[in-house]
């Protein structure tokens, strides 16, 4: 596998960290600390991202409800997950943490309301 | 017309105002929050993204959730009898040095608050097109990143189809990702400085993830379009600030998003005669977060633009403690002050001065560096002695630094960054 480089986001130092080699025998270089090493390895093998977006709300002065995944999802599934969430509609009232969509794209991650939604 | 008398009037119900109100209630005093919007939470309510609350809650939550947790605490506190009055949809029109607050809302008409103390918590404003010398026409489609955020996240509208972003502050980077995911093509981000304005985290997760180019030392040299924006000319920026000849490039777009900095919103502070610091562009504060006008305190982004909301909340609590202490001391005469010196790479900082009491003072400092640097120590010193120190692997202007020091009576402390 070719060498890939990652900008570390753990601290403001922003090290450029390279990961090379075959799975099982990956080599990491350019890091300044263990956390940077682990970050680059995770980015290389299974990058994950937190899903945040909005869904349409009915019966509330709010037009959109901010929602968030309860855990990060694999980065390559982020767009598919968003597509599924964007098709959802919710009715007010809702409480922060209420599940808007369970097990998005089979990831095991629930999408929940980020805030309360008052009814109109 | 409504008349109110409270111990503390809090102008603004965002994160600073909410934290201040809770702390005032905790001290058993009464307060009123005057909030311009129809709900509490301030700008957090349009920040649907993640990354808030790591210091405060030990976990990363969205802006809305951060606000909701404080609103829940406030409701719980009120249910237990805390005297926190919340006036929504209320615009403060006038603030006097005697702590008279004049406001207006659709329910009460005029509102007059006579306050023992005032905490300024109005937050900051985005720099607009008029403040960045954009040449060319003035079409529709040139908006700030915060406005784009509001259109998309709160109102549910897409403000364009193809966007150029000027400025690489965090809001601009966050919006690059947000617009991309909502189907707006983001052609690129142009930054006049030679380094990103925002955190590396956001450059990676908002630009690199989506292949959005970041053009450093670049500018938008011209805006085109008579009614609706049709495109912009971008160019490399020369040392004198003008476009480098031969580097101009026309980029078709119907949206130009400006993420070119935040300015503390101090119109009311000026009215009350509060002295402002030209560096922070907020009030000159002492270690109790009191401004130059006795009894008027400031917290959050109206005092200095913070990077993390967690610090904004903390500053709200500091100002609330300062206000309550001032009331407990029965409104003392204006104290004598000692200057807080900043040396070398330390730029904007609060507090700018400390009260010259006769006891040791616990002082919480917040500051930003002027230039990125690696392997440094942030220090508070006085008369050749180091009072507090913290080693830092790296520092950058985008990140706020904080330090707590015990400053002996009668000495003028210095905040400095030393290479180690």
Residues A36 and A79 in one domain: no
- Work out the angle at residue A10's Cα, subtended by the Cα atoms of residues A7 and A14, and round it to the nearest 5 degrees: 40
Could you give the residue range(s) of every CATH 3.50.50.60 domain in chain B? 1-126+261-334, 128-260
Residue A79, pLDDT score:
95
- Respond yes or no on whether the N-terminal peptide bond of residue B325 is cis (omega within 30° of 0): no
First and final CA of chain A: distance in angstroms?
A: 56
Residue B334, pLDDT score:
81
Contact of B110 with chain A, judged by CB distance below 8 Å, is answered with no
Residues A57 and A31 in one domain: no
Closest CA to B197 of B260, B144, B155, B250: B260
First and final CA of chain B: distance in angstroms?
A: 61
Confidence of residue A30 (pLDDT cuts 50, 70, 90): very high
Residue B199, pLDDT score:
85
Whether complex ipTM tops 0.90: yes
Is residue A120 in some structural domain? Answer: no
Residue B394, pLDDT score:
86
Closest CA to B351 of B298, B418, B417, B294: B298
Interval B112-153: pLDDT, tens: 999 999 999 999 999 988 888 788 889 999 999 999 999 999
Asked whether residue A13 carries a pLDDT value surpassing 90, the answer given is no
Residues A61 and A107 in one domain: yes
| Structural domain count of chain A | 2
Residues A62 and A106 in one domain: yes
Residue B153: list chain A partners with CB under 8 A.
54, 64, 66
Distance CA B33, CA B51 (A): 26
Q: Closest to B201 (Cβ–Cβ): which among A9, A75, A82?
A: A9
Residues A14 and A57 in one domain: no
Is residue A75 in some structural domain? Answer: yes
Residue A1, pLDDT score:
54
Residue A93: list chain B partners with CB under 8 A.
none
A 51-110: CB under 8 A from B: 52-54, 56, 61-64, 66-68, 75, 79, 82, 96
- Contact call for A52 and B62, based on CB within 8 A: yes
B 201-260: CB under 8 A from A: 201, 203-205, 208-209
Is residue A12 in some structural domain? Answer: yes
Confidence of residue A23 (pLDDT cuts 50, 70, 90): confident
Domain that holds residue A70: 52-113
Nearest chain B residue to A116 by CA: give it. B68
Chain B interface, best mutation among A52, A61, A73, by max B CB count within 10 A = A52
Residues A59 and A82 in one domain: yes
Say how many residues make up chain A: 120
- Burial classification of residue B24, based on how many CB atoms lie within 10 Å of its CB (0-12 exposed, 13-18 middle, 19 or more buried): buried
Residue ranges, chain B, pLDDT below 50: none
- Domain B1-126+261-334: CATH class, spelled out: alpha beta
- Choose which CATH entry (2.30.30, 2.60.40, 1.10.3470, 1.10.20) describes domain B335-420: 2.60.40
Residues A59 and A93 in one domain: yes
CATH 1.10.4100.10 at B128-260, yes or no: no
């Amino acid at each position: 596998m070719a060498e890939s480089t990652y900008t570390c986001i753990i601290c403001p130092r922003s090290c450029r960290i390279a990961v090379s080699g075959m799975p099982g025998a990956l080599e990491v270089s350019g890091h300044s600390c263990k956390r940077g090493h682990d970050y680059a390895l995770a980015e290389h093998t299974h990058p994950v991202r937190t899903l945040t977006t909005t869904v349409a709300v009915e019966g509330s002065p709010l037009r959109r409800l901010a929602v968030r995944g309860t855990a990060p999802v694999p980065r390559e599934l982020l767009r598919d997950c968003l597509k599924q969430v964007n098709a959802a509609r919710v009715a007010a009232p809702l409480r922060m943490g209420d599940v808007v969509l369970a097990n998005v794209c089979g990831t095991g991650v629930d999408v929940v309301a980020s805030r309360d939604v008052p009814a109109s | 017309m409504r008349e109110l008398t409270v111990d503390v009037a809090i102008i603004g119900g965002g994160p600073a105002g909410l934290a201040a109100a809770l702390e005032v209630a905790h001290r058993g005093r009464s307060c009123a929050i005057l909030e311009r919007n129809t709900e509490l939470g301030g700008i957090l309510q349009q920040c649907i993204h993640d990354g808030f609350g790591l210091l405060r809650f030990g976990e990363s939550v969205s802006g809305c959730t951060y606000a909701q947790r404080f609103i829940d605490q406030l409701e719980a506190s009120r249910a237990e009898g805390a005297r926190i009055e919340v006036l929504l949809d209320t615009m403060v029109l006038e603030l006097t040095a005697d702590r008279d607050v004049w406001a207006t809302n659709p329910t009460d008409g005029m509102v007059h608050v006579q306050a023992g103390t005032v905490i300024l918590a109005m937050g900051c404003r985005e720099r607009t097109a008029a403040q960045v010398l954009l040449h060319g026409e003035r079409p529709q489609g040139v908006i700030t990143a915060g406005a784009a955020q509001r259109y998309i996240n709160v109102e549910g509208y897409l403000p364009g189809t193809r966007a150029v972003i000027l400025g690489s502050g965090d809001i601009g980077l966050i919006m690059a990702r947000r617009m991309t995911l909502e189907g707006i093509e983001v052609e690129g981000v142009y930054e006049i400085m030679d380094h990103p304005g925002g955190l590396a985290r956001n450059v990676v997760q908002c630009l690199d993830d989506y292949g959005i180019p970041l053009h450093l030392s670049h500018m938008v040299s011209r805006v085109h379009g008579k009614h609706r924006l049709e495109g912009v000319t971008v160019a490399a920026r020369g040392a004198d600030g003008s476009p480098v000849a031969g580097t101009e490039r026309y980029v078709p777009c119907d949206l130009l998003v400006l993420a070119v900095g935040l300015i503390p919103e101090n119109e009311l502070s000026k009215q009350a005669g509060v002295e402002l610091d030209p560096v922070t562009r907020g009030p000159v504060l002492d270690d109790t977060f009191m401004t130059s006008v006795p009894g008027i305190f400031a917290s959050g982004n109206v005092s200095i633009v913070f990077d993390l909301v967690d610090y904004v909340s903390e500053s709200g609590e500091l100002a609330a403690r300062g206000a309550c202490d001032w009331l407990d001391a029965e409104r003392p005469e204006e104290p004598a002050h000692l200057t807080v010196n900043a040396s070398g790479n330390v730029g904007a900082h609060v507090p700018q001065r400390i009260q010259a009491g006769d006891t040791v003072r616990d002082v919480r400092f917040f500051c930003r560096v002027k230039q990125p640097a690696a392997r440094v120590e942030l220090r508070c010193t006085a008369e050749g002695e180091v009072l507090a120190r913290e080693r830092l692997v790296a520092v950058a202007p985008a990140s706020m630094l904080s330090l707590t020091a015990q400053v002996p009576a009668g000495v003028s402390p210095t905040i400095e960054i030393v290479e180690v």
